[in-house]
Amino acid sequence: MIKFMLMVNKQGQTRLAKYFAEFLTTDERRALEGEVVRKCLSRTDKQCSFYEHRQYKVVYRRYASLFFMIGVDDDENELAILEFIHCFVEVLDKHFGQVCELDIMNEPEMVHYILDEMLLGGCVVDTNKANVLEPVQLLEG
Amino acid sequence: MSIRLQQLIKAVRACKTAAEEREVIAKESAALREAFREQDQSYRHRNVAKLMYIHMLGYPTHFGQMETLKLIAGSGFPEKRIGYLGLMILLDERQEVLMLVTNSVKMDLNNTKNMYIVGLALVALGNICSAEMARDLAPDVEKLMDCPAPYIRKKATLCAIRIVKKVPELLEQFVDKAAELMNDRHQAVVLAAATLMLQIVELDPSLVDKYRPFVPHLCRILRSLLQPGGSPEHDIGGITNPFLQVKLLRLLRLLGRGHADSSDAMSDILAQVASNIEASRNAGNAILYECVQTIMGIECIGGLRLLAINILGRFLANKDNNIRYVALNTLAKVVSVDTQAVQRHRATIVECVKDADVSIRRRALELVYSLVNEANIRTLTRELLDYLAVSDAEFKPDLTAKICMLIQRFAPDRRWHLDQLLAVMLQAGAYVKEEVARALLVQLTNTPDLQPYAARAMFRALAAHGDSAAPTLLATALWVVGEYGEMLLASMGGPLLEGEPALAVSDADVVSLLETVLRRHRSEAAVVEHVLTAAMKLTARLPAQVPRLRALIGRFTTSTQLEVQTRSTEYGKVFSHERIRAQLLERMPALDEAEYLRANNPEGAAAAGGAGGAAAAGTARHANGSAGGSAGAAPAAAAAAKAAGASDLLGGLDVLGGGGGGSAPAAAPAPRALVDDLDALLGGVPAAAPAAAGAAAAAAAAPAVAAVSDDLLNLLGMGAGPAAPAAVPAAAATAAAVGPARFHPGSNRAPSGPRRTPPGATHSHPCRPLLSTPTAPARPRPRCGPLRLLPRSLLHRGLAAARPGGHLQPAQAPHQPRRHGGHGGNGQQHPNRRQRLHAAGGRPQVHAGQAGARLRHLPARPRRQRQPEAVREQHAARRQAAGHAPAHHVCGGGGAEPRGAGGGGQLPAWILRWSDI
């Protein structure tokens, strides 16, 4: 089960944050994000894409200047989550066309809509690009 | 007119400092509040979007929660969309406001015109619904699971997960529904249904039976996914819907666990997955990873297991760190199921301990740790030691601790144990815990065969690495060399052990080694202290070197380090009592290993310490009562000695093994010699009446009998005081004469005397010394150390008793210091001490308080700083002071009395004056 998803750039600025299943207060969130991001940014390219933090296992993947981090509970398949991140980025790419950090930063609500089509309550809903983007684009037009 | 979200984002981005950003946000928040108050409808969705952005930045947004509800209640899709998004992000299930939205959500769930509105409501419900909402809306969600649109079905199914999690009673009504949906044509719906089934089984394991009949069906779905080109819309790198495959495999694992028939039914498809999935892509590996876990998790035949273990072997050899990580992760889970299979990959796992990635290293280390047994400890330790030499600093503490633990647990023999620990100490001595070294020494005291070898090994280590060695190694090696010094000589050490290089050492070399260590570590007080103790012990082991050793010890009488100076002075004093020096420096008694290990277990230690403390208190009261009432102090003292021995036993302090009673015969010679000695010291005191002799004998005998706990002496002081007032000051003076620098009342430190303790056992150096843990058995007690017997309290008590009306009341027994309380570490006993000192009245205590204050303010101030003043004021006084014992600025007990100049045999004048009182 996915517990949270963060999109953070190399400077450590949060571009998007979404929490599932558990709600944290503003302060708790800030603290958690700070720790997770610091740990993530201190890792090198050579290291693997997983690390443990508190009760979470964080799976992350970097695309250009942006880190996509997903916090999961212990019995999740890390490689599948990694695949999901890639899937999500491909969907974003298809929607925005050559997606970059600026797109995500300027249209956070759109990214949320897309994410809501792919994740519900921390579980994967669908990963098919067409299925995901159909409702989103229908309403854009 | 408010600004757009993009403008706000731009404004925040333009901020150069955090303060600027705060200002922008504060301004915008104020504008938003204003807009909300004015019920501004046209920009409400924009305002909520900005609110979410502010929330993401980590600022409070509670004031806008109601706005999201208003948006949801609106009619347009765009408003609802942003409203539901705001609901998910800004609110949580704990907030009462959420209840208000239930009705709107219900209406949206039943919206028949626009399925995307239904979708919005389902997503929001699936993310944040509370138990109440779940109860109210479960029927609607259940209905939607039958909706013709797959878009709604998949979302409703996942939404049901949240509902059953919140309200487990509702589980029943979704059990069949989930199974039904497994037949759906749409893979997204099947994925959702599989997720729901997993959740249901996890919530209520008894429902597994209900789902077991679906195993063949699940296998069929899985098989269809394995067909190439089965459903191109979910294809990821040539693999069809890996997410669904992973979910199905996990579901199979839960259904097959502990059920042979189901496991059989799925073994074909598992074998097919394991052998057909291509491992070149991440998606394929994700499936293989899940498949291996399933194979290891179900009741499975050997062939399939082998397949799984081989896949893990391939994973371990993979270049991709991620793959290796999951392989280690899986092996760690599997190791309890099939240790043999994991052992096969030991070499690869050990390689992973050396990986560049800390995540992998840690996983591998944990795995190695669980793989070690008596059979492979030698090879694995060698590997780990090799790696220890090159590992980076942040990883060393963990690695060192693990290696030490493994060595202690699985060492095949004691020589190996010693060798390996020595190797660890040489490579990473700074990270070796003192407990480990202490346990080694305890073991060594119990293994006479190994002592010569240990002495030689430590000698070699010191000689080769003396300048770079860590404090733990230095302390251990110095202790061993001091304790077993004579065994270094070829004539005394016995034959070399197998494979040991010869060591040609003369007694002069041993002393030279100490001197070398001193030269290199002169500034480290802890090391110097250990060297001094070792040198002192060596005076008894290497008689020919006494002059050199004595010179070495004497060199530090002017040290600015309090403890070093104390030791140097006190040890120097021992030379003036030749008769008892050898006894004083006898070899340490063997410590009870089992006892030590038991006490070293933190819980056990606390319990033992508590019991020991209580017993000692009881004994004190008892002894006080009986001794106070008896005319002849000796029998009472003997009783007290036995009682103290017993209390020590209770506290785990049975150093001698025989306990108080059993060791009495061994101590028999001691009283005689000591009485003689006391006589000599008291030579000039005519007041030494028979009563005094009796008391002195008692004082001398008691410690000898019972491995002397300090309490004992205090007990004796209590007992003897009233009975023989004249004798006590004399006994006190005896002790005082031996160690003038010892009495630092209130100096927060256990008084130190010429001790037969392992390195630094009682000093309070910040670097905690060996064998002085809170666990009492770690600190061996002297068997015959009458000289250290503590006479500070004795002295005080003697003074009090000798003064008219100074008779001590038995009620003061609780003040008896338990200076080396077996249960308390240094840190614990000091507060007690101080408290005791302040609480007790009488002159001696006043001294104590002053001295304590002085020590606190002027900790071991170098004499040089004070000399100029003295020069100005009185040249003669300065000369005199310089010639005198160096201790006077740290000695509170004696006030302004000049301290003994240290001449052998001759008694300093001040002792006579004390006894005159």
Distances (CA, A) of B484 to B497, B528, B648: 16, 19, 27
Judged on CB neighbours under 10 Å (0-12, 13-18, 19+), B233 is middle
**pLDDT, tens only, A100-130:** 888 898 888 899 999 999 999 899 998 888 8
Q: How far is B283 from chain A (nearest CA, A)?
A: 6
Contact B282 A46 (CB under 8 A): no
- Give the pLDDT of residue B229: 67
Residue with the bigger pLDDT between B269 and B824: it is B269
Average pLDDT over chain B reads 69
Q: Which helix (H) or strand (E) holds A9?
A: strand A2-9
Average pLDDT over residues B541-551: 88
Closest alpha carbon to B36 in B8, B63, B61:
B63
pLDDT band at B156 (very low <50, low <70, confident <90, very high): very high
Residue A17 β-bridge partners: A6
What pTM did the predictor assign?
0.61
Average the pLDDT over each of A53-67, B41-55, B655-669 and give the range with the smallest value: B655-669
- Give the pLDDT of residue B496: 77
pLDDT band at B601 (very low <50, low <70, confident <90, very high): low
**Inter-residue contact B750 to B711 (CB < 8 Å):** no
Could you give the angle at the alpha carbon of B836 between the alpha carbons of B835 and B839, nearest 5°? 85
pLDDT band at B65 (very low <50, low <70, confident <90, very high): confident
B95: closest chain A residue by CA: A23
Q: Which helix (H) or strand (E) holds B240?
A: strand B239-240
Residue with the bigger pLDDT between B830 and B414: it is B414
Contact B359 A51 (CB under 8 A): yes
CA A88 – CA A18 distance, rounded (Å) = 14
Q: How far is B126 from chain A (nearest CA, A)?
A: 5
Residue with the bigger pLDDT between B678 and B49: it is B49
Q: How far is A137 from chain B (nearest CA, A)?
A: 12
Could you give the angle at the alpha carbon of B192 between the alpha carbons of B187 and B196, nearest 5°? 145
Q: How far is B648 from chain A (nearest CA, A)?
A: 44
Average the pLDDT over each of A132-141, B391-400, B427-436, B735-744 and give the range with the smallest value: B735-744
Residue with the bigger pLDDT between B424 and B610: it is B424
DSSP B764: -
**Inter-residue contact B418 to B444 (CB < 8 Å):** yes
Contacts of B13 in chain A (CB under 8 A): 105
**pLDDT, tens only, B812-828:** 333 443 444 334 333 33
CA B106 – CA B73 distance, rounded (Å) = 11
DSSP B859: T
Contacts of A127 in chain B (CB under 8 A): 234, 236, 241, 243
pLDDT band at B362 (very low <50, low <70, confident <90, very high): confident
**What is the per-residue DSSP string for B740-756?**
GGG--TTSSS----S--
pLDDT band at B57 (very low <50, low <70, confident <90, very high): confident
pLDDT over 90 percentage in chain B: 10
Contact A84 B243 (CB under 8 A): yes
Helix, coil or strand: residue B718: helix
Count of CA atoms in the C-beta half-sphere (13 A) of B289: 30
Residue A14 β-bridge partners: A8
Q: How far is B20 from chain A (nearest CA, A)?
A: 15
DSSP B2: P
Residue of A74, A77, A81 to mutate for B, most B C-beta atoms under 10 A: A77
Contacts of A77 in chain B (CB under 8 A): 246, 250, 286, 289-290
**Inter-residue contact B551 to B519 (CB < 8 Å):** no
pLDDT band at B640 (very low <50, low <70, confident <90, very high): very low
**pLDDT, tens only, B712-769:** 334 333 433 333 333 334 343 344 334 333 333 333 333 333 334 333 333 333 333 3
Distances (CA, A) of A119 to B144, B155, B159: 18, 9, 11
**pLDDT, tens only, B509-543:** 888 988 888 888 888 888 899 999 999 998 888 88
CA B246 – CA B257 distance, rounded (Å) = 17
CA A8 – CA A43 distance, rounded (Å) = 14
Percent of residues in chain A assigned helix, strand, coil, to nearest 5: 45, 25, 30
Q: How far is A76 from chain B (nearest CA, A)?
A: 10
- Please determine, for residue B363, whether its predicted confidence score (pLDDT) is greater than 70: yes
Nearest Cβ partner of B56 from A83, A108, A128? A108
Average the pLDDT over each of B336-345, B460-469, B577-586, B648-657 and give the range with the smallest value: B648-657
For residue B403, what are its two tokens? 């290696």
Which range of B91-100, B156-165, B411-420, B640-649 scores highest in mean pLDDT? It is B156-165
pLDDT band at B382 (very low <50, low <70, confident <90, very high): confident
Closest alpha carbon to B625 in B645, B639, B608:
B639
Contact A47 B321 (CB under 8 A): yes
Contacts of B53 in chain A (CB under 8 A): 108
Distances (CA, A) of B315 to A16, A27, B309, B384, B573: 34, 40, 10, 22, 69
Average pLDDT over residues B189-201: 92
Backbone φ and ψ for B320, nearest 5 degrees, come out as: -70, 125
- Please determine, for residue B484, whether its predicted confidence score (pLDDT) is greater than 60: yes
Nearest Cβ partner of A120 from B9, B127, B282? B127
Contacts of A109 in chain B (CB under 8 A): 5, 49, 52, 82, 85
Nearest Cβ partner of B359 from A14, A17, A48? A48
CA B690 – CA B679 distance, rounded (Å) = 12
Amino acid at B624: N
Helix axes B377-390, B358-371, angle to 10 degrees: 160
A32: closest chain B residue by CA: B58
- Give the pLDDT of residue B192: 93
**Inter-residue contact B620 to B816 (CB < 8 Å):** yes
Contact B161 A106 (CB under 8 A): no
Neighbours of B405 (CB within 10 A): 14
- Give the pLDDT of residue A119: 92
Residue with the bigger pLDDT between B564 and B393: it is B564
Judged on CB neighbours under 10 Å (0-12, 13-18, 19+), B433 is middle
Average pLDDT over residues B332-352: 81
pLDDT over 70 percentage in chain B: 65
Amino acid at B149: A
Nearest Cβ partner of B356 from A46, A79, A80? A46
CA B165 – CA B125 distance, rounded (Å) = 13
Residue of A120, A128, A136 to mutate for B, most B C-beta atoms under 10 A: A120
- Give the pLDDT of residue B259: 86
Q: How far is B301 from chain A (nearest CA, A)?
A: 24
pLDDT band at B361 (very low <50, low <70, confident <90, very high): confident
Neighbours of B863 (CB within 10 A): 15
**Inter-residue contact B783 to B663 (CB < 8 Å):** yes
- Please determine, for residue B219, whether its predicted confidence score (pLDDT) is greater than 60: yes
Average pLDDT over residues B177-199: 90
Backbone φ and ψ for B496, nearest 5 degrees, come out as: -70, 150
Is the torsion defined by CA of A10, A12, A15, A20 positive or negative? Answer: positive
Is the torsion defined by CA of B486, B487, B491, B492 positive or negative? Answer: positive
Could you give the angle at the alpha carbon of B93 between the alpha carbons of B87 and B97, nearest 5°? 65
Which range of A1-15, A127-141, B674-688, B892-906 scores highest in mean pLDDT? It is A1-15
CA A124 – CA B847 distance, rounded (Å) = 77
Q: How far is B381 from chain A (nearest CA, A)?
A: 26
Contact B159 A127 (CB under 8 A): no
Amino acid at B675: V
Neighbours of B820 (CB within 10 A): 23
- Please determine, for residue B388, whether its predicted confidence score (pLDDT) is greater than 60: yes
Contacts of A105 in chain B (CB under 8 A): 9, 13
DSSP A4: E
Contacts of A112 in chain B (CB under 8 A): 85, 89
CA B429 – CA B308 distance, rounded (Å) = 41
A17: closest chain B residue by CA: B56
- Please determine, for residue B43, whether its predicted confidence score (pLDDT) is greater than 80: yes
- Give the pLDDT of residue B621: 37
A117: closest chain B residue by CA: B123
Q: How many residues does chain A have?
A: 141
Contact B241 A79 (CB under 8 A): no
Nearest Cβ partner of A120 from B81, B158, B321? B158
Contact A128 B161 (CB under 8 A): no
Contacts of A121 in chain B (CB under 8 A): 126-127, 158-159, 161-162
Contact B82 A109 (CB under 8 A): yes
CA B731 – CA B787 distance, rounded (Å) = 10
Residue with the bigger pLDDT between B591 and A92: it is A92
Nearest Cβ partner of A120 from B9, B159, B286? B159
- Please determine, for residue B279, whether its predicted confidence score (pLDDT) is greater than 60: yes
Judged on CB neighbours under 10 Å (0-12, 13-18, 19+), B303 is exposed
CA B896 – CA B911 distance, rounded (Å) = 13
A116: closest chain B residue by CA: B123
**Which strands, in side-by-side order, build the sheet including A66-72?**
A14-19, A2-9, A66-72, A56-63, A50-53
Nearest Cβ partner of A23 from B58, B93, B123? B93
B125: closest chain A residue by CA: A121
Where do the H-state alpha helices sit in B15-130?
A: 18-37, 44-57, 65-73, 77-90, 97-109, 115-128
A53: closest chain B residue by CA: B359
Which range of B167-176, B653-662, B865-874 scores highest in mean pLDDT? It is B167-176
**Inter-residue contact B640 to B650 (CB < 8 Å):** no
